[in-house]
Structures are given as structure tokens and as C-alpha cells.
Amino acid sequence: MTKSHTFSRATLPVAGEQHARLTVDLAALSENWRTMARRSGAARAGAVLKADAYGVGLEPAAHAFYQAGARDFFVATPGEGAALRPLVPDGRIFVLSGLWAGAERLFFDFDLVPVLASEEQIAVFMAAVADGREHPCALHVDTGMNRLGLRSEDALALAGDPARPAGFSPVLLLSHLACADDPSHPHNRQQLQRFRAVVAAYDGIEASLANSAGVFLGEDYHFDLTRPGISLYGGAAVNGVPNPMRCVVTAEARILQVREAKAGESVGYAAAAVLTRDSRIAIAAIGYADGYMRSLSGAGVPLRRTGLAGASAVLHGRPVPLIGRVTMDLTQFDVTDLPPGSVRAGDFIELFGPNMPLQDVAIASGTVDYELLTGLGRRYERYYQAVRK
């Protein structure tokens, strides 16, 4: 069983073995799924649980979604599906990487649905069920992303092929939107039109097109089943609009030392940051070994040469800028503007969470919410706030 703790924010410990902590609000996780289910309209909403539930933790996330009502789940690999199966005993688990020779037993033993993405994978599946075994599969159609999936014209040809294997009857057709985070992008409509043509050729089979951002594109994109991912975990799915999802993950790091430094002195590797005033610097026990990426640095990395500022964190309710370079285990923050004596060793600084949006930190690093969450390291002590009934 996954170790979990239930605390109010006020009672989280400030001491302990770990240098950093993650607080996961399972009530927010459940509410985010309900929000996406409502936005999915007549379609059912699934839940994507890839990469240890986007870094949140597979077991607590699966329980939260299952209790909220989810029954369709998506993972990347059969190993993830096998780990998920006992947590969602009557749920459908789709494996997005498909099926390959040698993995058949895992799919059968754990009742996993392979999402077949090529003629080779279809052949492997048909060989596996050649003895009359009944097992569901799904078909992935590429409608313009050039990633996994049969090309739409090949999927159409397969639908009308008189030599199509009699036992090949997918329970789901799916495709993936490339540009849904930009609602005005013409590629969205192009993919929709291609997918509609394939769906029409496979009459009576359920269809799924919308990821998190696709759900926000509206009912044209919903079909029978939506596949929200990043939105469930509090991430921003659509660019340039306020994020309606509740914050799920709060990442914090312990301050190990507060030090004084003079104007003209430098901070960190390569003396990349030079102080323009007498300063107080808080040294936090966090770094790129924990997924707090080097590109968040305040100075001395290529991204910063573009003129973008580095990241900030929040301490005692106020933003404080990162100064110098993020290193493997340590990062410096300028706390000069906080009242003298208000910052002490042992305090915890919020890296992202309710006061420092995940999206803002991702933008500062030159990446996306997904990478920050899935890159969280193993050294965080995790606290799970229970779903309130």
C-alpha cells in the first residue's frame, strides 16, 4: 500500500528526515475530474494515469478518480496497467503504447486493452487471439500528429478491406490532437474532419479524440469518451486563458541557511549573478535532482539570455526571486525584501502550489506543466490529504 498521510496545511510537520515535501490534495484531484466530466457533456470522461499519475502517485490518484466516478483509464505501458488493475477492479484500462510480441500474457492476465497503432501491432494482436480467445482492443488513428497511429487513409482502407480479420473489432477508435492548447489553430479542425471520416467508416464503435485541451474545444470534439490528463492534476491545458482547475500539488523545500552578502559579491556557480545591493539569501534544499530544473535559474543559463526572468517562489506569503543557478541539491532565493528575522533555517518555501501557480513556474523554465510534474524526484516526502466525503 502507498504510504499516505492526512493533514491540514497548518499541521504539516516542519521537521523530519526529508528536505522537501509534496502535498497532494486528493479532494482537488476528485473535483478536477468532476469538472472535466461536466465539461465533457454527453461524453464519458476517462482519466489518464501515465507516469505514476503525472508524478502525483498512482495509487492515491486512481482511488480518487475511481471514487469520483471514473471507469475508463489510460496508461502508457502494460507495466503501468498491471499496477493499476487492482486499484480499479471493474475499470477499463487502455494501454496507449499498444501491443508487441512477448507482452501478450500481461495484457491477458491483467485485462488490459491494447491501443493498436500499426499494422504490425494488429498482426501481433490477431495472432494472440487466433485460438478463439476474446479480448478487446482499440485502434489508434493518426489524423495529423505523425506520432503513433495508422494514417487516417490506412484506417479507412482497413475498415473497407474484405480481407480484414473477422476477429478484429475494436471497442474504441482514438486519435490525439496536436494543437488543442491553441483553440484557434486550424489544425484542430483538420484533425476533427479526418477523425470524423474514420469514425463514420467504423459504424457502431465508440470514439475518443479530446485530451484535456480538447475537452475545452467543445462538444464537436467530445465524441463518446474524453481523455483528460494534465487538467486533472491542476495543470493549465489551454494557452492564454485563466486556468479553471483547482491546485492539486504543492511543492516545498526546506531552507538550510540564511546568509548575508554584500553588493558586488557573486552568487553560485560561475559567479553568474552579481548582487547590486546588500542582500539576504535563503539557501533551499532543492535542485535539479528533484526535478527543479536548471533552466529555472536566475542567471547563467542559455534561457536567461533571452531576457526572460528566472523563477520565483513564495515565502511567508510573498514572492521571492531565484538568484544564481539551480544546482543539483541547492537553490538560492533573494529574501532581502522580507522583514529582517522573518526567514529562518527550517522554514519551508513554496516552489509551486496555491500561491505560485505551476504554469508560471513552467513558463519560467521554458517548459510545460507536464514536465515539471512528471519530473518530480524521489526525495520529496509525500503527504496525501484525504478526499472529503
What would the pLDDT profile of 308-351 be if each residue is shown by its tens digit?
Answer: 678 999 999 999 999 999 999 999 999 999 999 999 999 999 99
Q: Would 168 be classed as within a structural domain?
A: yes
User: pLDDT of 195-206, one tens digit each?
Assistant: 999 999 999 999
Of 39-43, 129-133, 162-166, 359-363, minimum mean pLDDT range: 162-166
Whole-number Å distance between alpha carbons of 118 and 313 = 45
**130 and 216 belong to one structural domain:** yes
Does 217 score more than 70 pLDDT? yes
pLDDT at residue 132 tops 90:
no
CA–CA separation, 14 vs 23, rounded Å? 13
On whether the CB atoms of residues 283 and 339 are closer than 8 A, the answer is: no
Q: What is the CATH number of the domain that holds 369?
A: 2.40.37.10
Structure-model confidence comparison of residues 357 and 304, the more confident one:
357
Do 227 and 87 lie in a common domain?
Answer: yes
Q: Using one digit for the tens of pLDDT, what is the confidence trace for 133-150?
A: 889 999 999 999 999 999
pLDDT of residue 307: 65
Total residue length of the chain: 389
* Residue 50 designated active-site: yes
| Chain segment 220-237, per-residue pLDDT in tens | 999 999 999 999 999 999
CB-based contact 81:110 (threshold 8 Å): yes
**Same domain for 58 and 199?**
yes
Q: Check residue 252 and give its pLDDT.
A: 97
Residue 131: the pLDDT is 83
Out of 180, 205, 233, pick the residue that ends a domain.
233
Q: How confident is the model at residue 30 (pLDDT cuts 50, 70, 90)?
A: very high
State the pLDDT confidence band at 168, using cuts at 50, 70 and 90: confident
Q: What is the distance between the alpha carbons of residues 363 and 324, in angstroms, rounded to a whole number? A: 18
306 and 199 in a common domain: no
The answer to whether position 312 is within a domain reads: yes
pLDDT surpassing 70 at residue 179: yes
Q: What is the pLDDT of residue 99?
A: 95
Residue 141 β-bridge partners: 150
Q: Are residues 226 and 255 in the same domain?
A: no
User: How many alpha carbons fall within 13 Å on the CB side of residue 292?
Assistant: 31
* pLDDT class of 298 with cuts at 50, 70, 90: confident
How confident is the model over 364-382, as a mean pLDDT?
92
Of 187, 202, 233, which marks where a domain is finished?
233
Q: What is the mean pLDDT of residues 125-132?
A: 89
Of all residues in the chain, the percent with pLDDT exceeding 70 is 93
Whether 156 and 203 share a structural domain: yes
Amino acid at 175: S
Task: Please indicate, yes or no, whether residues 201 and 285 belong to a single structural domain of this protein.
Answer: no
**Owning domain of residue 335:** 249-385
Mean pLDDT of all residues belonging to the chain: 92
> Given pLDDT bands bounded at 50, 70 and 90, which one contains residue 17?
low
Residue 345: other Cβ atoms inside 10 A: 11
Same domain? For 219 and 259 the reply is no
Instruction: Output the pLDDT for position 389.
Output: 54
Residue tagged active-site, from 3, 66, 262, 269 = 269
Whether 217 and 261 map to the same domain: the answer is no
Inform me whether the pLDDT recorded for 355 exceeds 90: yes
Q: Within a domain: residue 13?
A: no
Residue 23 belongs to some domain of the structure:
no
Residue 3 lies in a domain: no
pLDDT at site 300: 76
**206 — phi, psi (to 5°)?**
-65, 155
More confident residue, 219 or 310: 219
- Inside any domain, residue 11: no
pLDDT (0 to 100) of residue 261: 97
**Given pLDDT bands bounded at 50, 70 and 90, which one contains residue 305?**
low
Single out the catalytic residue among 3, 50, 233, 262: 50
Give mean pLDDT, residues 246-264. 97
Same domain, 298 and 220: no
Query: What gap in Å lies between CA 156 and CA 175, rounded to an integer?
Result: 14
Question: Is residue 223 assigned to a domain?
Answer: yes
What is the band of 10 on the pLDDT scale with cuts at 50, 70, 90? very low
Question: What is the per-residue pLDDT for 257?
Answer: 97
pLDDT of residue 163: 72
Above 60 in pLDDT, residue 7?
Answer: no
* Range 159-164 contact pairs with CB under 8 angstroms and sequence separation of 24 or more: 159/198, 159/201, 159/202, 160/201
Domain-embedded: residue 369: yes
Q: For the chain, how many structural domains are there in total?
A: 2
What is the Cα–Cα distance from 338 to 110, expressed in whole angstroms?
Answer: 55
How many degrees, rounded to 5, is the angle at CA 111 between CA 110 and CA 112?
95
